[in-house]
Every structure is written in C-alpha cells, then in structure tokens.
Amino acid sequence: MAINAQSSQSQTSQSLETSMITSTSSSWYANNSNVACHNQSTARAQIVGTKEHAIVNSKRSESKSNPTLPCMGFVSPTGAFYAVVAIQGINHHDGSKVLWDLRLDCANEGTLRAWMRDGVSHKTVLDGLMNQSNLRPSGGWAA
C-alpha cells in the first residue's frame, strides 16, 4: 500500500509540475511567468521542488561556501591557458611585504573561464605553490 501511495504522490507532483510549465512554438515558460526559458529543463529549474531546481541551487551554495581567490586569465603565444593569482608574502631578509604572481596552468579554456568567474580554490593555489618555478615577482607573468 505504501508503494501505491508513493506512486500516486509522484504522479500528483508530476502533474502539478506539468501544469506549471507552458510552451509556445519557440519558448518555454515556468510558473506562467513572462520570462522565456530556452528549453523544458530550464523551465523546470525555475520550479521549487523539481530535481533541476535542486541541482541548480546546490551548485550555487557550494561555490559560496568555499572561499576562493580572484585571478586574471592569459593565453601564452603557444596557446596554453593559465591563470595568475596575486600572492602576498614576506621578505625573509628585512620582513617587508612582497607581492608575488603565481602562475596556474589550466587544462583548457573552460577551466580558465570558470576560475576567472568563480575564483581559484585554496587547494589549487597550494598545489601551485609546491613548484617554486610558478612564482615570479608581481607583474612578471603578464610582462
């Protein structure tokens, strides 16, 4: 009997969701809004309680909970993508503050764009610091 109740609840949820999505010949609309969606999946992402809505909102909350560092993106003359993160350090000789640029190589343009949009994680920065050849005085990589 529990299976039937769950099945009917799922059908009710599906029919409610379907009634909240409308379409025209070229656009989808969620919740009878005036904002057109690209496709049915995008429209479903606007409706609270759908799987798509949960996926979209979980990604947003994850990116906000993990602190990141801003970066600038570059493409080398050979076509390699890399990001540069500004790092502040201390000069061991006199204790003054020194600015360094850390170069982080990217696998592809998509990774670089994501880092520029969302920032670089602390783990990625720490991994890059393991190789001292990735560090130059401030302005060294852009020059």
- At 53-90, the pLDDT tens digits run 677 777 554 445 678 999 999 999 999 999 999 998 88
Long-range contacts of 93-96 (CB under 8 A, 24+ apart): none
Residue type, 12: T
What per-residue confidence (pLDDT) applies to 22? Answer: 60
- Dihedral of the alpha carbons of 102, 103, 104, 108, in degrees to the nearest 10: 150
Secondary structure (3-state) at 97: strand
* Residue ranges in 24-98 assigned as alpha helix (H): 40-45, 51-65
